[in-house]
Structure 1
Amino acid sequence: MTANTAQLAATLASLAAMLAEQEIPEPAAPAPPARKMPDRVLLTVEEAAEQLGIGRTKTYALVKAGELESVQIGRLRRVPKAAIEDYANRLISQRNA
């Protein structure tokens, strides 16, 4: 062996010894599975628009005209899920009439 090879081998052995001395942290316990949130009864106007497949502006217009029932909680406007189904059923019954 040459001097450089011997020095490299000594350095690698020293490094291996240092790594062996270090404490290896135990893996963290897995996080508990996320609890599934129950379906909400009141939706934002944007969520109601998405459920109906229409735009946000049109949904606000339906709320303002009273065609889509909504409730106010403080400064928030929410649309009951049942109101979305009622509105859709009214549209279907008007079309069939």
Structure 2
Amino acid sequence: MVRVEQDAGNLVVKVEDNGIGIPESAFCDLFKPFTQVDSASNRQYEGTGLGLALVKKLIRMHGGNVWVESELGIGSRFSFNLPLPSEGVPF
């Protein structure tokens, strides 16, 4: 599910899933380049570990922030905010 809202001069986008969840101990590494929560050679999910690092860099370049909330066995929510121009949402 994707939600978009406006909060205190920011556009806030939240992307939620009901997947396997992420342990809180892994939060600090999620946004590091080439880092994956499951780094075992026989892991179930593929990827390079660059996606979230690039997202964080792009969001920060535009003056925003990105964060995660997750619970094992329940799912995860990745959110980011971007400052809105003083005129409001430009679309």
TM-score range, shorter chain: under 0.3
Greater strand share, structure number: 2
Higher relative contact order (CA closer than 8 Å, sequence separation 6+):
2
Between structure 1 and structure 2, the one with the greater Rg is: 1
Query: TM-score normalised to the size of structure 2?
Result: 0.24
Query: TM-score normalised to the size of structure 1?
Result: 0.22
